[in-house]
Each structure stands twice: as C-alpha cells, then as structure tokens.
A and B are shown apart, each in its own frame.
Chain A
Amino acid sequence: GAVVSQHPSRVICKSGTSVKIECRSLDFQATTMFWYRQFPKQSLMLMATSNEGSKATYEQGVEKDKFLINHASLTLSTLTVTSAHPEDSSFYICSVPAGGKETQYFGPGTRLLVL
C-alpha cells in the first residue's frame, strides 16, 4: 500500500490565490520531509527540506516567503504556494525518509495549474 499520500492530487486555481498541498507519511514518523517541483519534460528539482519543530531549509533560488512550509506533526507537512502565478504551475512531489531504511518514499504528486 501507499507509504506517502498527497492531497489534493490536482488543483486548478486563479492567479493571485494561495494553494495548500498536504504531504502525509502513512507508515513512518518523519522529522524530515522533502519537497520537489517538476516542470513538464524536466527532472525533479528539490525545493526545500521540511523539518518538524523548526524552520524549513530552502534550496538556492526558492523564495521562502512564496512557498510556505509547515511541518505540523511527525506525519504531516504542508506546502502553501502563496499568490500563485501561472509560472508556478508544476508537479509538486514530497518525499519521506523511510525510517531506518536507506532510501526515501515519494508521494504521488500534486499537479497545480494556475490560470
């Protein structure tokens, strides 16, 4: 069964609105989760590392005030795209370290379309 879930799976919003994407770890408690973005025909790009109980760590070039991350509990991280614009349209994917195992499990992704 799924290890990581994301909600919603797809969302369409108007330019200027904010969109919240949830990432849930179903099998593991996760003090760390990762958020990626993938534009069409491109590879995944790491946006930020979500840390439970502390501030997220953002990759260079990612605006922390635009992409708000809240690691609310050991099983939930949220990414809020604030004042979304059409160029924010993308596939957003989270991942969760697999407990004591040596890899990460990725969520199914959320496709965002900003009109």
Chain B
Amino acid sequence: DAKTTQPPSMDCAEGRAANLPCNHSTISGNEYVYWYRQIHSQGPQYIIHGLKNNETNEMASLIITEDRKSSTLILPHATLRDTAVYYCIVRFSSGGYQKVTFGTGTKLQVIP
C-alpha cells in the first residue's frame, strides 16, 4: 500500500470548516483513498473513501486532486466532538476484507 503523509496536528475553530490534507504521491492507479478517525480511547471510525472522484456523505467531503497525489478531507462545520486523530490511508482494494495499515495521522483539535 502507498505511503501517506499528514501534518501531525491542526487546530480548527468550532463551526468553521476543517480541511485536513493528505499527500500520497506514490499512489497507484487502483489504490483507494480512505479516511478514518479515532476519538480518544475509542476504536477508529470510518469516514469516507474514494478512488478518483470527489465524494460526499453525511460526515464529510473528500476532494482528490486530478493527479491523485493528494487529497483533502473536509468537515464542513467542525464541532467539539470532531476532535480526534484523523487517518488517511491508501490501499488497493475497496473491499472490507483487506487489512488496514494506519499511519500516524493528524490530531485535529476543535477550539470553542
């Protein structure tokens, strides 16, 4: 699976959009971009994933650049409950049966 690079930490004001970047310059054509988050002392939670098109669900939006070398996770209106470590992961299969390899992630602190 391709390696990802994320900033170690970010702050965001409550109610503002949180934009979390991820660099995956060695991604191959059939690797998907996944985002998970882990709130303190809990198990990770799936957020969103995509291959090449931008994706949106009830939690977030995922913007993937045209060359697919980077992506941005957008939380449109961050709340205090969004404070967590966010992991960007790339892997070959979209299937749930493939193991997930976690990097170091970005610790997002939402500030009141």
Query: Which residues of A are interface residues toward B (Cβ below 8 A)?
Result: 4, 6, 32, 34, 36, 43-46, 49, 91, 93, 95, 97-99, 101-109, 111
Contact = CB atoms under 8 A, between A and B. Distances in A.
Contact of A98 (B38, B44, B96): B96
Given A43-B87, A43-B105, A106 B99 contact: no
Given A104-B96, A107-B43, 19 more contacts: A43-B104, A43-B105, A44-B38, A44-B44, A46-B99, A46-B100, A46-B101, A95-B43, A95-B44, A97-B95, A98-B96, A99-B96, A101-B96, A102-B49, A102-B95, A103-B46, A104-B100, A106-B43, A106-B44
A49 B99 contact: yes
Contact of A43 (B41, B42, B103): B103
Interface string B30-44: 000010001001111
Interface residues of B, number: 21
Contacts of B100: 34, 46, 95, 104
Nearest to B101: A46
Given A43-B102, A43-B103, A93 B97 contact: no
Interface string B80-112: 000000010000001111011111110000000
B45 interface: yes
Secondary structure class of chain B's binding surface, majority of residues: loop
A106 B96 contact: no
Interface of B: 34, 38, 41-46, 49, 87, 94-97, 99-105
Contacts of B38: 44
B96 A97 contact: yes
Q: Which of B38, B96, B99 has the most chain A CB atoms inside 10 A of its CB?
A: B96
A67 B102 CA distance: 21
